[in-house]
Amino acid sequence: MERHRKLAAGNWKMNGLSDHLGEIAALIGSHGDATCEILICPPATLVAPMAAHAGSRIAVGGQDCHAEANGAHTGDISAEMLRDAGATYVITGHSERRADHGESDEAVRAKTEAGWKAGLVVILCIGETLDQREAGETLSVIDGQLAGSVPEGATGDNLVIAYEPVWAIGTGKVPSVEQIAEVHDHIRKTLSERFGTGTADAVRLLYGGSVKPGNASEIFAVDNVDGALVGGASLKADDFGGIISALEG
């Protein structure tokens, strides 16, 4: 099975008001004909207007979803609601959700299943803390998160895995290319053992954590890196555009 197009995904986190939609117009103007796939995951308030604004040229996703389709869950948003608003992707398991909201692997698995049920492609995030890295536990942490968070039924059409070392998110610190390669190779191997080589090769593996135009080319040259999940640098069309250009090679 061939791998899908490479993916440049932007996670705006809790940033962005309606006037920030101008960045999407600028991005379409500069990279509307990109050969890679471009995705923006804005705050929930901007999903519908961004989807209307972006049309088919840029995909739009949610940053999280509830495991249930509806119900008495004040303040939450379901995968079906995201889909109804025009989203085609959703992020699950981001380290900020795992840390700030105490989300377990079991909770992430349930949200991932909800995303699939709603017809969304799920970008499932995994990654180790600095203490775990320094203790030599990186690969065992990755194994545990993959086993606990990824449901049965994963395919290249419904799942993207984003490796985001927690210690590199928003810190300016970036793992060496050797460290990135080790983890991405291990993820591919682990997926292959569980789902078969065809499926494992079809699942896109993104790197995330302080990706910028200046370091993107080096990161994208690493084998088994199929794109990036970008935080702060995705808020500005110029910065994100530089990363997209690097991904296109």
Q: What are phi and psi of 157, to 5 degrees?
A: -90, -20
Residue 206's φ and ψ, nearest 5 degrees, are -105, 150
Q: List, for residues 195-211, the tens digit of each pLDDT value.
A: 999 999 999 999 999 99
Catalytic residues: 94, 164
Q: Which amino acid, one-letter code, is at 185?
A: D
What mean pLDDT do residues 37-62 have?
95
Whether the predicted model's global pTM rises above the 0.75 cut: yes
CB distance 77 to 66 below 8 Å: yes
pLDDT tens-place string over residues 101-138: 999 999 999 999 999 999 999 999 999 999 999 999 99
- Domains annotated for the chain, with CATH where assigned, are 7-248 (3.20.20.70)
Nearest one of 8, 9, 7, 11 to 231, comparing CA atoms:
11
The answer on pLDDT for 1 being more than 70 is no
pLDDT at 3: 59
Inform me whether the pLDDT recorded for 31 exceeds 80. yes
pLDDT at position 33 over 70: yes
Query: CA–CA separation, 38 vs 32, rounded Å?
Result: 9
**What percentage of residues in the chain have a pLDDT greater than 90?**
93
Q: Average of pLDDT values for 178-188?
A: 98
Closest CA to 219 of 185, 188, 179: 179
Tokens encoding 66: 């509830």
Give the separation between CA 127 and CA 130, rounded to whole angstroms.
10
pLDDT of residue 89 exceeding 50 = yes
Helix axes 47-54, 21-31, angle to 10 degrees: 30
Q: Residue 62 carries which side chain, given as an amino acid letter?
A: G
